[in-house]
Amino acid sequence: MAEGIKLKFSGIGWESKILLKRATFYLSINKLVAEGCSLEKGEKLYSYLAEDKAGRKMIVIYLDGKKKER
């Protein structure tokens, strides 16, 4: 995992299916999470590929529409 990033899990989790439409893969976000974070259709989110300490791949998605701080 990137140095300096600490994750704090909020206890909310969901299962997502990978969807394919033409040449693009999509992941879904739970509707309650989207509404709770005031997300709207068409809004940009920034996602980053990361690894945990065990080497498992994960995606970090910032839900506030801002890019990751360096």
Alpha-carbon distance of 46 to 59, in angstroms, equals 10
Q: For residue 47, give both structure tokens.
A: 């996602």
Look up the pTM and report it: 0.71
What is the average pLDDT across 18-47?
A: 90
- % of the chain residues with pLDDT over 90: 39
Residue 49 has what DSSP assignment?
E
Taking alpha carbons only, the member of 47, 46, 13, 8 closest to residue 30 is 13
